[in-house]
Amino acid sequence: MDLQRVYWSWEQTPDLLRPSAPAAAAILGMACRPIATDRRQDGQLIVVIGCWLPGYEQSFRDEAVQAYLTNALETAVGEPLVVELVDWPVGMIADDSPEVARAHELIARGGDRLFTIPPPSPLDSEALDDELRAELAKCESVLDRLLFARLLDAGLRPVCQYRIGAVRVDFAFPSARLGVDVEGWTPRPGAAQEREAEMLGHGWRFLAFYGREIYEDAAAAAHQIERIAGRRARR
């Protein structure tokens, strides 16, 4: 899986970037993480990086810094790619928080590998019961966790990383025989046809949402899932 491979390579990236762009490398290490990957039709890898430090974009505005970042991540991952920087899906940390002041102090001095700012979370896992906390722990990305939170808001209790035949889905609702995946970042026609056919053969319906869709409006996706799950459960 491309996103997992980028995760495994991520710790190298700030160190590879530091000689060319120390401020950007410091921000990358303390307050940025990959949130999604995708493939263009020509096979080129796209890596979407989310950042939660207010003002981070100023350090990446220069085209040379963007090129240094792309080169550093290409070296870490081991293939040509395109980088897209976005705000963290759950929002930024407060601009007046002590962490922001400390971050800017360290950035001015070239950063500190040991200083990181915890990313904002879509929900408090301690407020969940043991069963839901165990399901949340199976979510493989922040976009999955964001959709999980909105599904709870919609009154659903998803089962995560559920297998139906040869297919494993991000979220399942067994009583409704409904499976849901968060796929890539942008729409890819026909990408889910094989999985959809496999699940239909087992009497399940399959829904696929692309990552940007969840990023932009996870609540709308959750309500769509809730409507379909409700109809199917009542059959």
Annotated domain spans of the chain: 2-108, 125-233
CATH number of 2-108: 3.30.300
- Give kind and range of the element (H or E) at residue 14: helix 12-17
Confidence grade of residue 136 (pLDDT, cut at 50, 70, 90): very high
For the record, the structure tokens of 111 come out as 């950063």
Per-residue b or e along 105-126, where b marks 16 or more CB atoms closer than 10 Å to that residue's CB? ebbeeebeeebebebeebbeee
pLDDT for the residue 233: 64
| 3-class DSSP state of 108 | helix
* Helix-then-strand count for the chain, H and E: 9, 7
Rounded mean pLDDT of 27-33? 94
| Angle (nearest 5°) at CA 231 between 199 and 122 | 80
Question: What's the rounded mean pLDDT across residues 106-125?
Answer: 86
Place domain 125-233 in its CATH homologous superfamily. VSR Endonuclease (3.40.960.10)
Query: Are 2-108 and 125-233 equal in CATH topology?
Result: no
Look at residue 103 and tell me whether its pLDDT is greater than 80. Answer: yes
Q: Is the dihedral of CA 200, 35, 83, 70 positive or negative?
A: negative
Mean pLDDT, residues 18-36: 94
What pLDDT was estimated at residue 134? 96
pTM for the predicted model, two decimal places: 0.93
Mean pLDDT of 121-131: 93
Joined tokens for residue 172: 């399942």
